Homo-oligomer: A and B are copies of this chain.
Amino acid sequence: PHPQMQMEQMGQFRITVWEEENFQGKRCEFMQECRNIMERGFRKIRSIKVENGAFVGFEYPEYQGQQFILEKGDYPRYEAWSGNSGYRTEHLLSFRPIKCANHSDSKVTLYECNDLQGRKFEICDDYPSLQAMGWCSKEVPSIKVNSGAWVAYQFPGYRGYQYILERDRREGEYRNYNEYSTQAHTHQIQSIRRIQQ
């Protein structure tokens, strides 16, 4: 591609990570994914600034383990991205851009049963409480992402375990809770929202 175009494309995603809290110590800037920060000599990532685009961070190398949504802004320490203080290994060792996020064109279908079966509910907006919207259970057995990228949460109000659900992965089909994450600890999903680029 033309060098100028390439630069513009790359500039859509920019993240800086530090080895210590509060943007101290060893530092590294990325415009694309990082499959293992330890290959750069980091023990772990303790603070982050997202300058452009949205990213998903992972607990372990190779995009494994717990997931953390990272939108534009400052994350001075683990608590700023985790939202789940019960589980305190404090690792963040790999991350990648979320390329299909589109805040103004996002649609997702929630299903009452596994394998995209049973009664369904289509949503295009953010829901801090699925139960307040009329969903009768604390669980969502399967999900189809029709467009954009979403983050689903264990608890109401966008808290607890986070699951990043993207149109461009698995063709947007999440057929049971094991597909939400390589380490989904629970079926529970009580809030869901669009990801902002």
By a beta-carbon cutoff of 8 Å, the part of chain A in contact with chain B is: 50, 54, 69-75, 77, 79-86, 88, 126-133, 138, 151, 154-160, 190-191, 193, 195-197
Chain B residue nearest to A52 (CB atoms) is B132
Given pairs A73-B138, A79-B86, 12 additional interface contacts (CB within 8 A): A70-B157, A73-B130, A73-B191, A77-B86, A80-B156, A80-B159, A80-B160, A83-B83, A127-B196, A128-B193, A128-B196, A129-B196
Q: How many copies does the complex hold?
A: 2
In the bound complex, what is the Cα–Cα distance between A87 and B157 (angstroms)?
19
A133, A160, A195 — which one has the most chain B CB atoms within 10 A of its CB?
A160
Chain B residues near A50: list those with CB within 8 A: 156
Chain B residues near A86: list those with CB within 8 A: 77, 79
On whether the beta carbons of B72 and A195 are closer than 8 Å, the reply is no
Chain B residues near A69: list those with CB within 8 A: 128, 157
In the bound complex, what is the Cα–Cα distance between A193 and B71 (angstroms)?
15
Chain B residues near A72: list those with CB within 8 A: 129, 131-132, 156
A80-B159, A88-B85, A157-B81 known; A74+B190 contact, CB < 8 A: yes
On whether the beta carbons of A196 and B79 are closer than 8 Å, the reply is no
Chain B residues near A85: list those with CB within 8 A: 79, 82, 84-85, 88
